[in-house]
Amino acid sequence: MCGIVGFTNKIADADNVIEAMMDRIRHRGPDASGKYVDDSVALGHRRLSIIDVSSQGDQPIYNEDKSIVLVFNGEIYNYRDIRAELIKAGHSFTTNTDSEVLVHGYEQYGTKLLGKLRGMFSFVIWDSNKKQLFGARDYFGIKPMYYAVMGETFMFGSEIKSFLEHPDFKKELNESVLETYLTFQYSPTKETFFRNVYKLMPAHYFIYKDGQLDIKRYWDITFEADSKPELKDWVNSISETFKNSVQAHKIADVEVGSFLSSGVDSSYVAAVADVDKTFTVGFGSDEKYNEISFAKEFSKAIGKENYSKVITPEEYWSSLEMIQYHMDEPLADPSAVALFFVCNIASQRLKVALSGEGADEIFGGYNVYSDPGGTFYDRLPKAFRRGVGKLAAKLPAKRGVNFFVRKGRTVEERFIGNAYMFTPQERKKLLKITTDAPDPTRITRHYYKRVSKLDDVTKMQYLDLHLWMAGDILLKADKMSMANSLEVRVPFLDREVMKLAQRIPVKYRVTHKKKTEQTKYITKYAMRLAAKKDTPQQTGKTAEKKKLGFPVPIRVWLKQDKYYAIVKDAFESESAVKFFDTQMLVKLLEDHREGRADNSRKIWTVFTFLIWYRVYFEHNGEFAKRS
């Protein structure tokens, strides 16, 4: 795992600038560094040695005549097969690293190379013959890639903070993304919080040549349910395919461990992977927020050693600036901090850890996926439900009323993902600034359009696979692991696993049970059965356990004097006054403290932005140098 940076070279001190950019992301690769600078481009690389740990694997990596130059972040799990194919075609290799297959693969296949890769990656190749840059990001967006065009300079990197070192970089807040973030809790589009800085979206590649940037999509998920196989056949297929993926993801010349919460996803990974060490974090002693006892029991049952840490409130709150520095953009997911700490304890003992991200999106695991078709009311005429919903929307919001409002709307109207913080109306009232931020449904519309003929559960999964997973789940996984110089691999997010999962009928993803049974529905149904089959008998209840995933007691802390005061100070700060109606902010906080409403997620969304803004605009992105 590594970090990459680069730019088209129009400056006199390119060598020093690329060094400074590399230093900004040293945490991504502390083992080695390398650069390439000519009159056209400057490329930089920081290396965390995983495969071919000798200096042979250092980057940049070249072809035989050094006309092709590569900087690469990620892992290619099927590189040995591709390597054999390329050697047969006449290519000569000088290293045993997976990186070199990208160089010769580009020579042999051009952009079609991307269709052959199994792995997680973001990379850029400089083709000195064609005078062009070719860059790509993996299918799911596991590894990040940012880019910007500033003046005559095109720059790219694994992290936006590296751009701060370039003399052509102009740092400005993208206020329209702030408004969008208030609804999603992350930035869901290609735009970032820095004006004119963009994400290369998952499954896209770019070619930059003669000052022109061309971006294309090279892969998409295609849900096509196959009703022929029986449930047991799907279970067996999931078992076989997932085991294969886990083995592929264990390819390394260093030890591999595994994260472990109490949920089925991480437990399934840990049991199948047969790693030596598992890692868990929790808060206090309340089982709602602490899964350590379960993790230790599970690890003992599978014959592995568990390392754990109880995160104190003081540790959590004192880490927030550092967390947002590493995140590059504000992310209001409280579990990001817990993820940082589990990465930290893992990094003290190894360089690679497996994790369970992606299972919910691929196999249908979120509770919200049970909503479509889950009640008798869903079978009533759509027009009737819509009329009742409109009437209910005029009443004060509460649980029973919200049900009728929700059921009166289409999935396209009501679902934007797993987080919905401020409505467009609420955020307009809260913000002092005026922006051109789109309505949330405008952002989700083109994703829904691609799956317009499919069922509602599949629509929701497709949306989450493209927005929530890439913008929240995978962002925090990459940034928190790399902050600790740890590589996190996600075997559920594998092309072969996805190829299987997209064929599973909805009834085997989310199943609604009979009225007489206590549990009304089961999510990830077929996958849970596969996990139960492949998990030791004494731990079989894991497959049925409700997902927690390192939960954080934010709502509790915000009612305590110490942390209430910290947030209130932020809500009344000069930065808050620039953007928000601070009286409304304080009222959100007061109502939460007094128990009139659970505003914890909304409060955290605004508070997180203010912390991030402090780091990048008040401290000029200098947190790492101050800490």
Distances (CA, A) of 313 to 283, 493, 602: 8, 32, 20
Distances (CA, A) of 408 to 368, 370, 405: 16, 16, 5
What is the sign of the dihedral through the CA atoms of 148, 150, 152 and 157? negative
Residue for token digits 């390329």?
Answer: 86
The backbone torsions φ and ψ at residue 192, rounded to the nearest 5 degrees and listed phi first, read -120, 180
Side chain identity at residue 489, one-letter code? R
CB 5 within 8 A of CB 157: yes
Bond before 313 cis per omega within 30 degrees: no
Q: CA nearest 31: which of 351, 438, 257?
A: 351
Side chain identity at residue 619, one-letter code? H
- Helix, strand, or coil here: 192? coil
> What are 353's two structure tokens?
């850890």
CB 236 within 8 A of CB 158: no
Q: What is the C-alpha separation between 482 and 343, in angstroms, rounded? A: 9
Side chain identity at residue 551, one-letter code? P
CB 111 within 8 A of CB 204: no
What lies within 8 Å, CB to CB, of 336 at 6+ separation is 323, 327, 476, 479, 480
- Helix, strand, or coil here: 233? helix
* CA angle in degrees (0–180, nearest 5) for 452-357-415: 30
Q: What is the C-alpha separation between 124 and 144, in angstroms, rounded? A: 12
Verify whether residue 2 is a known catalytic residue: yes
Q: What is the C-alpha separation between 323 and 172, in angstroms, rounded? A: 21
Q: What is the C-alpha separation between 419 and 476, in angstroms, rounded? A: 15
Which residues face 194 on adjacent strands? 173
Q: What is the C-alpha separation between 370 and 364, in angstroms, rounded? A: 9
CB 265 within 8 A of CB 360: yes
Q: What is the C-alpha separation between 390 and 394, in angstroms, rounded? A: 7
**How many Å separate Cα 340 from the centre of its chain?**
13
CB 281 within 8 A of CB 342: yes
Q: What is the C-alpha separation between 491 and 105, in angstroms, rounded? A: 24
- Helix, strand, or coil here: 443? helix
Residue tagged active-site, from 1, 2, 264, 431: 2
Quick one: which H or E segment has residue 68? strand 68-76
Quick one: which H or E segment has residue 392? helix 382-392
CB 43 within 8 A of CB 128: no
Enzyme catalytic residues? 2
